[in-house]
Amino acid sequence: MNDMNFIPLDPLLHSELRLAVMSILLDVPEADFVYLKAQTGATSGNLSVQIDKLQQAGYIEVSKGFKGKMPQTLCQITDKGRDAFAAYVNALRSYIK
């Protein structure tokens, strides 16, 4: 049997929806909740829970405000989140050598 060294995957990022949110946020300065919901196809409730988990981990920052009279939730990836995503991708590479 091969002696392979697998790097453990970050369980927080090893969720399809959280990984999708992080991937989207890597490419934009910030994204609002409506945009993230449309891009991921997630339900509002599930997306909200996953955003909270990413925020609690310090991977994203969330700010709430208004756009006109409508409430708006904006999400932005943090440096810690960028580092965690890069580490996750590196860990995945250890599985596909």
Which amino acid is present at 51? I
**Residue-by-residue DSSP string for 20-84:** HHHHHHHSSS-EEHHHHHHHH---HHHHHHHHHHHHHTTSEEEEEEEETTEEEEEEEE-HHHHHH
pTM over 0.85: yes
- Domains defined along the chain, listed by start: 16-95 (1.10.10.10)
- Distance in angstroms (rounded) separating the CA atoms of residues 72 and 47: 14
| Digit-coded pLDDT (tens) for 37-89 | 999 999 999 999 999 999 999 999 999 999 899 889 999 999 999 999 999 99
